[in-house]
Structure 1
């Protein structure tokens, strides 16, 4: 075999090895990024779920004497607040942020003759908790612990 043919053969081998090394590096970087994305989000803080709290009366219009719901005013801090509303016409809803791994809770206390219902929706679509008053005038309570993994709510 001539020296030119040997050089060409070595060059092809080096080119193939460089391509293989680059492909492996790219694949490894993709796996690393997938594994560490949630770690970066936890590191930076600010992981919260967008939830919708809803209250309603069975059989149509009604009023709630009290509505209480839990939320996080700042998704970068673990502290939560409980908002309490006085007399409220039903149906009612509010959007709230609840940090990952925290309890989301709404309680609808209806007037004495009313049966209330409550729901907690994820991103205005998926029902993650619902409840109904056990009797007229008794509160409807909905609560759920949010997923602790950002962007992954279990089914």
Structure 2
């Protein structure tokens, strides 16, 4: 038979573990709720609000080459201000990864050689197509552009 002293010790030990478990669960839930409501601040602390995009360009018919290719991006995800890169003759297919700040325009333009037609795409995180375009005719440029979502982590469908 257990003495009253041992029974009291078991009750206190069980109570301690229940209180500790409830405290840990409360801290974790509170941290998750705080993080969810402060995601914008967290992104600012880690280095700004920007989207990682992939620009792609290709051509059909004629030579697999562009006479001109240009694209817009933000060189620094923490500071406003964009840069426009202009490439001369470029082999196709072509792609590059860029960063574009939230609420800014993402843009790529490709001019195919001679009688070729061009196409371009802008992909979010390398997967989801958010813009695409095609040449209206041979030798005419294809343009893809989209204004990125101004809300971090929420790109409209």
- Tell me which interval the TM-score lies in, with the shorter structure as reference length: 0.7 to 0.9
Partner of 1:52: 54
How far is the alpha carbon of 1:32 from its aligned partner? 3.0
Quickly say closer, same or farther: Cα 1:59–1:112, change in 2 above 3 A.
closer
Moved more, 124-133 or 145-154: 145-154
Q: Distance in 1 between matches of 2:62 and 2:29?
A: 57
Partner of 1:140: 142
Alignment check: 8 A CA contact 2:67 2:111 kept? yes
Q: Distance in 1 between matches of 2:106 and 2:46?
A: 22
Query: Paired residues, what number?
Result: 145
SS in 1 for 2:54: strand
Moved more, 31-40 or 137-146: 31-40
Query: Could you list the runs of 4 or more consecutive aligned residues of structure 1 that deviate by over 4 angstroms after TM superposition?
Result: 21-29
Of 75, 82, 97, the match for 1:95: 97
- RMSD of the alignment, in Å? 2.6
Partner of 1:69: 71
Quickly say closer, same or farther: Cα 1:153–1:110, change in 2 above 3 A.
same
Partner of 1:82: 84
Structure 1 stretches lacking a partner, 5+ long: 1-14
Structure 2 stretches lacking a partner, 5+ long: 1-14
Q: Distance in 2 between matches of 1:55 and 1:29?
A: 43
Moved more, 122-131 or 22-31: 22-31
Q: Distance in 2 between matches of 1:104 and 1:86?
A: 20
How far is the alpha carbon of 1:26 from its aligned partner? 6.2
Q: Does 1:150 find its partner at 2:157?
A: no
Alignment check: 8 A CA contact 1:61 1:91 kept? no
SS in 1 for 2:99: strand
Q: Does 1:41 find its partner at 2:40?
A: no
